[in-house]
Amino acid sequence: MTQLDCTQVPAGIEDLLDGYLAGERAAELREHIVACQSCSRAHAASQALRAELGRLPVPAMRPGFAAEAFAAATRVPRPVEAVHPAPAAHSPRERRTPWRARWRRPELWIGAAVGAAAAAALVAVLWGVPQGGSAPGHAPGRVAEPSPGELQLSLYETREVGIAIDAATAMPGATLTITVAGGIDLAGFGERREVQWEADLDAGTNLLSLPIIAHSLEQGRLTALVEHGERAQRIEFAVRVNNPAPN
Amino acid sequence: MVLPHIPFPEPVPADDRAREDDRAREFERLLEPLLPVFFRHAFRWTAARDQAEDLVQELLVRLYPRMEELAALDRVQPWALRVMYRIFVDQHRRNLNSPVRPMHELSGPAAQQDPGDCFPDDAPQPAELVERELTGERLAAAWARLGEDHRVVVALHDIEGYRLEELSIMLDTPAGTLKSRLHRARTRLRQLLAKEPFADSVRARGREG
C-alpha cells in the first residue's frame, strides 16, 4: 500500500481514466488501486459506468426527418424581405418556430369551419377568382361569401385564387405561409411548394391573390396559414385538376 | 368597399432559382452524412427524440446561410456542434423563462443554477454502483433526469471522447469550469442512479433468488 489517502483517490481515478494523469502521479495511483480493495472496486465501477454510458441507446431519426429538415432549412423565403421588410427583431429566421414545434401545436390549428363558427381572431376564407376577372357575384376587392368546397382548374391553367383574411384587429408582422401539394404549383415559383413571408394585416378583411397553376391531373391541395403571436388560423382547400376540353 | 390587398412575394427569377437549388443540393451533400452525428449529440443532450429533431432542424436553418463558410472548413463537425450548443443554450434559457416547466425543475431559484450545485456531495461512491447493478435501463432513466448542462459535458467528454481543451473552445467555457462541471455531473449521475429503482427483471431475479 502506498502513502496515498483513499479519500483523495476518487478524483484521481477519474483523471486517470480521462488520461489527464501521467508520470509518477499516475504510477503512484495505479499502485494504490492495485493494492487497495476499496479503491480497486471504485476504479472498476467508474470504468463500468463509462462503458455503460457509451452503450446508452440513441434512437434512429424518424423516417423522412432528414429530407424534411433539409427542405425546411433551404426553403428560405427571400422574397419576404424584398416585398415586406420586417423589423430586425421580427426577422423571419428569428421568429421561425422549429419544424417539429410548429407541427406539434395542434391546439393552435383551428380549422376554417371551427374558426369561423367561433368567430376567432383570424378567419381565412377562400374562393376562386378567374384570372383577369371575378367569380360570379364576387367582384375583386369586395368581401365574398365563402364557398367552401372544391376549386377546379384545367391542366396547365393559371388561376388567381383569392383568400380573404379577416383580422379582428390590426396585426402587424403577421406570418403567412402558403403551401401547395399534389397537382398544383405556385406559378413562377418552380419546385418551391411553400412560400412564407410577413405582412401587416389591417383590421377587417384583407385580400390575398395567389397565382396557382395545375401541372398534373393529381388532385391539388392548397393550405394557407396565418400566424400572429400565439394565434394561428389555417385553411386547406382541395383543387381538382381537369383535362382541358378538346378543341 | 375597397379592401386592402396583401402583397404576395414576387416569384424568384429562373436563374436565381436554379442557383438556389444548386446551393441547396450542395448544402445537403455536405451535411447529410453528418446528420446522424448531429442527431446523436442532440439526443444525448436533450434525452428526447422530438427535442433532438428540433435542435438539428434549427441547426440546419442556422447553417444554410453560412454554407460557404462551412464548405471551407477542414472539420465541419466541431464547428457545427459549437453552433448547435449555442442554439441548445438559447432554447434552455427560453425554457427557464417559460411558465411551463418539468416538475423536477420547479425548485425556485435553484433552477437557475447549475443543477449539480443543488445537491450535497453525498453521492454513492463508484463501487456501490457495481453492487447495485448498473443496468442500461437504470442509467437511461438517470440520464434523462440529469441536468442539461451536465448531460452535455458528460456526453461530449465521457461518451464522445472530446478533451477538456477541445470542449473549452466548443462550449466557449474555461477548461477549469468544465472540469468542475464534469465532476459535479458525474456526482449527480451517481446520485440519480442510486435513486433509480431496479429494473423489473432485476427485481424478479431478486425474488426468485
Burial class (CB in 10 A: 0-12, 13-18, 19+), A194: middle
Q: Looking at residue B60, what is its pLDDT?
A: 95
What is the nearest CA distance from A113 to chain B, expressed in angstroms?
Answer: 23
Q: Do B84 and B117 sit in the same domain of this protein?
A: no
Burial class (CB in 10 A: 0-12, 13-18, 19+), B111: middle
Q: Nearest CA to A57 among B13, B137, B42, B171? A: B137
Q: Specify the number of domains making up chain B.
A: 2
Nearest to B53 among A62, A82, A195 (CB): A62
- Is B194 domain-assigned? yes
Q: Which domain holds residue B131?
A: 111-208
Question: Long-range pairs for A29-36 at CB < 8 Å and ≥24 separation?
Answer: A29/A4, A31/A2, A32/A1, A32/A2, A32/A4, A33/A9, A35/A1, A35/A2, A36/A1, A36/A6, A36/A9
The band of B63, judged by pLDDT with boundaries at 50, 70 and 90, is very high
C-alpha–C-alpha distance, residues B24 and A231, integer Å: 31
pLDDT of A87 reads 30
Q: Is B100 on the interface with A (CB under 8 A)?
A: no
Q: Which three cell numbers stand for residue A109?
A: 390549428
**Contact list, A81 vs chain B (CB under 8 Å):** none
What is A67-242's CATH topology?
Immunoglobulin-like (2.60.40)
Give the whole-angstrom CA distance, residue A97 versus residue A99: 6
User: What distance in Å separates the CA atoms of residue A16 and residue B159, rounded to the nearest whole number?
Assistant: 16
In a domain, B10, yes or no: no
pLDDT in tens, B97-138: 655 554 444 444 444 444 334 334 444 555 555 445 667 888
Among A43-57, A140-154, B186-200, which is the least confidently predicted range?
A140-154
Closest-CA distance, A118 to chain B, in angstroms, reads 23
The predicted-structure confidence for B46-61, as pLDDT tens digits, reads as follows 999 999 999 999 999 9
Tell whether B56 is within 8 A of chain A (Cβ): yes
Domain chopping of chain A, boundaries: 6-54, 67-242
Query: What mean pLDDT is predicted for residues B73-95?
Result: 89
Query: Distance between CA atoms of A143 and A165, rounded to whole angstroms?
Result: 10
This complex has an ipTM of 0.73
How far does the CA of residue B195 sit from the closest CA of chain A (Å)?
Answer: 16
- pLDDT value of position A245: 60
| Residue A204: DSSP 8-state | E
C-alpha cell at B174: 474555461
Q: What is the three-class DSSP state of B75?
A: coil
Domain end among B97, B119, B147: B97
Q: How far is B163 from chain A (nearest CA, A)?
A: 8
B120 and B196 part of one domain:
yes
Read off the CATH number of the domain in which B29 is found.
1.10.1740.10
Per-residue pLDDT of A20-30, as tens digits, reads 988 888 898 89
Please indicate whether, in this complex, the C-beta atoms of A98 and B58 are within 8 angstroms of each other.
yes
What CATH number did the domain enclosing B142 receive? 1.10.10.10
Q: Which of A92-96, A197-201, B153-157 has the lowest mean pLDDT?
A: A92-96
Q: Does A106 touch chain B (CB under 8 A)?
A: no
Residues B20 and B70 in one domain: yes
Q: Do A207 and B5 touch (CB under 8 A)?
A: yes
pLDDT exceeds cutoff 60 at B88: yes
Question: Which of A10, A53, A208 shows the shortest C-beta gap to B159?
Answer: A53
Residue A149 DSSP label: S
> Where a domain ends, among B38, B72, B97?
B97
Per-residue pLDDT of A125-164, as tens digits, reads 544 433 333 333 333 333 333 344 567 888 887 888 888 8
Are B132 and B67 in the same domain? no
Q: Pick the last residue of a domain from B74, B97, B120.
A: B97
Model confidence over A209-224: pLDDT tens digits? 888 888 888 889 988 8
A204 residue type, one letter: G
Which residues from chain B sit within 8 angstroms of residue A83, using beta carbons? 7-10
